[in-house]
Amino acid sequence: MKTRTEITVEVDRWVVVNRRRKTAWCVACSRQVEMLNVDDAALFAQVNSRTIFHWAESGAVHSSETPEGLLLICPYSPNLHP
């Protein structure tokens, strides 16, 4: 007689970003938030940086640009949560 064993694994994921903070106004959220740079947003969303740029251009994530040209991404953007 064969027996079947079923194993369930639950995984939690934490992303800790320890870099210089950029606080900016998110127009979509209508509040001041600590924005992510493109690389941190890509890490957070488990995608590559090119995808983050594409999402920002298409409006799929909340984004803003600094006077220096740095693209900032709101961590509360719906697409960033896998």
Q: What is the pLDDT of residues 6-49, one digit of tens each?
A: 888 887 766 666 667 788 899 999 999 999 999 999 998 999 99
**Residue 54 lies inside a defined structural domain of this protein:** yes
What's the domain range around 54?
A: 22-80
- 74 within a domain of the structure (yes/no): yes
- Cut 0.85: pTM above it: no
Total number of domains constituting the chain = 1
Q: Is the residue at 6 inside a domain? A: no
Q: Closest by alpha carbon to 66, among 31, 28, 21, 30? A: 21
Which tokens is 60 given?
């799929």
* CATH number of residue 36's parent domain: 1.10.1660
2 domain residue, yes or no? no
Residue 44 falls inside a structural domain? yes
